[in-house]
Amino acid sequence: MPASQPRSRARDRNNVLNRAEFLSLNQPLKGNQESRSSSRKQSGQAGAAGAQNANPKERRQSQQLPEEDCMQLNPSFKGIAFNSLLAIDICMSKRLGVCANRASSWGGARSMINLLGITGHGIPWIAGTLICLVKSSTLAGQEVLMNLLLALLLDIMIVAGLQKLAKRKGPYDINPGLLDYLTMDTYAFPAGHASRVAMLSKFFLNHLVLAIPLRILLVLWALCVGFSRVMIGRHHITDVLSGFVFGYLQFRLVELIWMSSNTCQMLISIW
């Protein structure tokens, strides 16, 4: 053993690769591997630091995107039912818009349908109520007419407010008329004509003594005026149905705040 050690040392001295100028060739791979591994570690640390310093909103968005995609691809049952009913409403309203323009199937009857719609405008009813109020000489008649005027004004304000909130357009691109602008009935939901005729018909049925044929004609008039707005393409079917509901609710509101005869006489004297 002692003799073998000096021999190995002598061999190492005689090896040319052990000289100082050749030492860099002995372990080139190790150095490169270490440098590469160190560079990889540094780049990995830099990437981790960059990921940590990334915007938290972007990380939240990247985490939420799959969930949002799943929600869009798999909507709820309520969403499917609502969209289906909405599509049916639009399709049926466009099919029933037979007087939407002159080229429609019933385009020749458009003038008559518009004339029927004028009977449900608020301006003629307000003007007629004021004329009747001036000519009325009985306390009971003035009380009914004052409350009718209140109901008409409430109808215009409530419908205008709801339409401004919903901002739903009709099935056809039809510009509102002059009377529509005066009563602020410029959007589709809810139908102002439908709410007004429903409120008026219920008001007259409750406060006027009418024969049965007249009561039937009054209800038919309200239905015809409401659905005439669908025929000319200004409203959807659901707009008219919701207008009938809001008209009935407005009637109930007027009944709750009904002005007495003394109050009406005080307002008339001020006017």
* Domain assignment present for 142: yes
Catalytically annotated residue among 121, 193, 207, 236: 193
* Domain assignment present for 87: no
* Domain assignment present for 15: no
Catalytically annotated residue among 121, 207, 235, 236: 235
**How many residues can be counted in the chain?**
271
* Domain assignment present for 34: no
Output the six-digit token pair for 213: 């044929």
* Domain assignment present for 121: yes
| The residue type at 12 | D
CA distance 201 to 79: 36
pLDDT in tens, 214-265: 999 999 999 999 999 999 888 899 999 999 999 999 999 999 999 998 988 8
* Domain assignment present for 102: no
Integer angstrom CA distances of residue 248 from 203, 214, 219, 251, 257:
9, 19, 13, 5, 15
Number of domains in the chain: 1
- Annotation marks residue 207 as catalytic: no
Q: Is 148 exposed, middle or buried (0-12, 13-18, 19+ CB in 10 A)?
A: buried
Q: What values do phi and psi take at 105, rounded to 5?
A: -65, -35
- Annotation marks residue 193 as catalytic: yes
**Which residues span the domain enclosing 214?**
111-270
pLDDT in tens, 85-116: 888 888 888 888 888 777 778 878 888 888 89
Cβ 151 vs Cβ 251: under 8 Å = yes
Question: Model-level pTM greater than 0.75?
Answer: no
* Domain assignment present for 183: yes
